[in-house]
Amino acid sequence: MLGRPRCPTFHREERDKRDVHNQDGHALLFVCRIKKVIFSACELGIFDLLTAPPCALTAQQVAVSCNASVGGTERLLDALVGMELLHVETQEDGTALYSNSEVASMYLAKGGAKSLHHVAIYRSQTGYQLWNNLADAVREGKNQYQKAFGIPPEEVFQAIYRSDKDMLKFMSLMNSCWVLDGHDVVMAFSLAGFRDIVDLGGCTGALAREMTKAYPSSSVTVFDMPAVVEMARKYFLQADDTFAFQSGDFFHDELPVADLYVLARIIHDWSEDKCVNLLKRICDVCRPGGGVLLVEATLLESRRGPVHTQLLSLNMLLQTEGRERPASQYAGLLRRSGFRDVQVCRTGKTYDAILALK
């Protein structure tokens, strides 16, 4: 039943090289400001406003709609023009009309075809609070929920799901993660031979939705905490979805028997011991010939890149008890847990796929 990789292996060492030496020194330190400009525009709803007809508005009209000052709005809009996320057209009477660029409409407006709006909101309102404590995280070697939000760091997801509002914010982030990468990871291997598929920690069902589209003859179930399942059914379930939800804690509750278990952005949350414990639990209930599919952002074997994955690993330090790993380390965890025939497919996107059989 082991699928064949559908994607080539990318030379990440070459792809990830960046000629930072030619950049202006000040530009290196402006990155955080650029991000915050985008995040703030998302929070204010500017990209959504400029998507709706008439699609071109003055700074005053935008300010009124966003309940913001005209002067501050104009400066923000002009900065977005400078970043080529907005267009501006000056009328004969001198009035400036602002409109979205194609990139802004696609990625930053809520209704964009590949919207990352909720990713921006989460990073602005939660991520930035934690990243302010990066130096402390490096010193202490643990997540920073206590300093950022006054919440004990021991129970990671109790901190992440500290309120219904924060739970919905995080789930919206997870839902958006598969907008760009979901199709690639479910197609990385041919999974058509796996009849019953369980997406452990599948959150909103966004990846399960991609799997049902790619493999309509397979039965797909999302297994997650009761509160998450309730929220997913309320806010994210679509009328034509064919996958099912099942409530439970994958560390403690009985796991459903299946042919394939998907762990997408799950293993990187936990310590090595917890990862092996979870994978052994999966191996125990997995049908013979079945397997597990890990979806993670993998580091190079040297751990010297890609930069994006290195930054994700720092984010794991700030938010969880886990880390990003090279593919060989994921393969080692799988073999220690009873799996074999490990194959790796580098998708060329943020997340890669690792498939192993029981």
Two tokens at 242?
């064919």
Two tokens at 60?
């005053």
Q: Are 219 and 191 in contact (CB under 8 A)?
A: no
H-helix or E-strand spanning residue 267: none
Q: What angle do CA 210, 211, 216 make, to 5 degrees?
A: 115
Q: Are 179 and 115 in contact (CB under 8 A)?
A: yes
Catalytic residue among 26, 117, 183, 268: 268
Closest CA to 45 of 59, 60, 70, 62: 62
Sheet holding 244-247, edge to edge: 244-247, 219-224, 196-200, 260-264, 291-296, 352-357, 340-345
**Which residues are CB-neighbours of 259 under 8 A, at least 6 positions away?**
1, 193, 194, 195, 196, 197, 286, 287, 289, 290, 291
- The SS3 call for residue 351 is coil
Helix locations, the chain, DSSP H: 12-15, 25-29, 31-44, 46-49, 59-66, 70-82, 102-103, 117-122, 128-131, 134-140, 145-149, 156-160, 164-186, 206-214, 226-235, 272-285, 307-319, 327-336
Closest CA to 260 of 305, 311, 315, 197: 197
Closest CA to 91 of 56, 134, 129, 43: 56
How far apart (Å, rounded) are the C-alpha atoms in residues 22 and 135? 27
Catalytic status, residue 268: yes
Q: Whose structure tokens read 């293993």?
A: 267
Q: Whose structure tokens read 């580091």?
A: 299
**Hey, which residues are catalytic here?**
268
